Amino acid sequence: MKIWIDGRFLEKSDAKVSVFDHGLLYGDGVFEGIRAYGGRVFQLKEHVKRLYDSAKAVLLEIPFPAEEMTRVICEAVRVNELRDAYIRVVVTRGTGDLGLDMRKCKVPTVIVIADKIQLYPKEVYERGLRVIVSHLRRIAPDTLSPSIKSLNYLNNILARAEASRADCDEALLLNREGMVAECSGDNIFYIRDLKVFTPPVHVGILEGITRNVAMRLAKEKLGLEMHEQVFSVPELYRADEVFVTGTGAEIIGVVLLNGRVIGDGKPGPLTTSLIRAFREYTKTAEAGAAVYEAVKV
């Protein structure tokens, strides 16, 4: 595997950063996780835009324009001879000293990794996810905006650890007011009476790119009403179907929440149809940039 770091591709064993890099010392940086399907980088323009938006929000200047980042991402997939891939783009504050002063970090570190990923085995998609409600609260927007994909993921990691200790697959976090926010690594939806509901961004969630695609497909391909509104956990208990979306997970049904069976205990028919629509969409030219031909931004 070859990994792109600061302008060149290196073998995995040679891909290193300084122990004084503030991404390591303080989680000071931003990232994006991106998928490629059949040689197309999924929603590449949207992911790159979000990366640069996150960087701007934390006063981090990426040392080259979005067009160049687009080229590097595609090149990383090509160099590793991948068609289906998971791409991780990381931008740290760069090498500094042991203090917090970002002015000591003169040049950001930029890393692009193209590899494969499987968050859940095939049988989990067929069986559905088991989810708990974490005792942790999602970090409030007035503390650290969830629109920033920062390298500080401890809130998410500790919630996922809680799920693992309970022999579950995912953890749902509530916001400070006790309303449903998002899962540790996914956005959450429920379906009731042919209407789809998901929390609005202002409750304190990341505006997921797969989330936005799923919302559009639910409306255009399945003919379902789509609603962004605030709701509490009991609304999920009463749902006909519940599902989550994310770059790594894609779309997957939830069948158990805090010990309550959702629907009939299997991924629901509308969720299954949405998964099918999503997988078909990933094959289209509209879905993303082609890696093995000239890419236009």
Alpha helices in the chain (DSSP H): 22-26, 44-57, 66-79, 122-127, 154-165, 209-220, 233-237, 269-281
Residue with tokens 């994310």, as numbered in its chain: 246
- Candidates 191, 196, 181, 194; CA nearest to 233 is 181
Distance CA 43, CA 34 (A): 8
Q: Count CA within 13 A, CB hemisphere, residue 134.
A: 29
Residue 149 falls in the annotated catalytic set: yes
Among the listed residues 16, 116, 149, 219, the single catalytic one is: 149
Distance CA 11, CA 277 (A): 37
Are 52 and 73 spatial neighbours (Cβ–Cβ below 8 Å)?
A: no
- Candidates 212, 184, 217; CA nearest to 198 is 212
DSSP output for 165-228:
HTT-SEEEEE-TTS-EEEESSSEEEEEETTEEEE--GGGT----HHHHHHHHHHHHTS--EEEE
Q: How many residues does the chain have?
A: 297
Distance CA 182, CA 171 (A): 9
Distance CA 143, CA 147 (A): 12
Helix, strand, coil distribution of the chain in percent, nearest 5: 30, 30, 40
Distance CA 209, CA 248 (A): 11
* Active site residues per annotation: 149
